Every structure is written in C-alpha cells, then in structure tokens.
C-alpha cells in the first residue's frame, strides 16, 4: 500500500433514462464537517430534485453506498423513489 492517504473515489450515479430518474447508490449521507455526504447539495446544484428520483438502486449495503438513503432528521432522502437492493444469494460478500 502507498504511504500516506489513499484516495478511493466513489460517486453515486444519476441516470436519466428519458422516462425515469435512476440513482445508483447514495453515498455516506449527511456527515457533519466531513468531505462526504454531499449528494443532495450536488444534485440540487445540478438541477436534480431528490423528490424527482424514481428508482434508487443500492449496489450493496456498506455505509458508503447506502447511508445516504436518509437525511439527518431520519426522513427519506428520495421520498418518491422505489428502492432496490439485490437479494442475498447465500454466498458471502
């Protein structure tokens, strides 16, 4: 491993299919005084209303992919979205 800080870039993806707005993963969610949890402000800056998201696909349930499903007050960040998570198949991982 390299010495010092290792940067692992990860960005949730928003896809406009023409009929649906799909979000893949939600990031860490609101995290005070941290360089993470910026999905909602960044979506808003890009002109995407979180209420307009139709489908949220969570690739896996690690905090950096799923914790952004809720806001700091515990309410849903994407209140109108259908949430999809893969079914566990019995394999580890």
CA angle 50, 52, 53 (to 5 degrees): 75
CA 81 to chain centre: 12
Walk along the chain (93 residues) and give the pLDDT tens digit of each residue: 567 766 666 689 999 999 999 999 999 888 877 778 889 999 999 999 999 999 999 999 998 899 999 998 999 999 999 999 988 776 665
Q: Model's pTM, two decimal places? A: 0.82
Say which residues have a Cβ less than 8 Å from residue 24's Cβ, sequence separation at least 6. 12, 13, 14, 15, 57, 59
Tokens for 57?
Answer: 């696909």
Residue whose tokens read 């849903």 = 76
Q: CA–CA distance from 15 to each of 9, 75, 92 (Å)?
A: 19, 23, 29
């Amino acid at each position: 491993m390299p010495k010092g800080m290792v940067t692992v870039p990860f960005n949730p993806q928003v896809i406009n299919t023409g009929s649906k707005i799909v979000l893949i993963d939600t990031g860490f969610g609101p995290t005070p005084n941290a360089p993470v949890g910026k999905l909602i402000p960044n979506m808003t800056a890009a002109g995407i209303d979180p209420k307009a998201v139709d489908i949220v696909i969570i690739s896996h349930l690690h905090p950096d992919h799923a914790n952004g499903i809720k806001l700091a007050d515990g309410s849903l960040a994407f209140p109108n979205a259908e949430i999809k998570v893969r079914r566990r198949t019995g394999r580890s991982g």
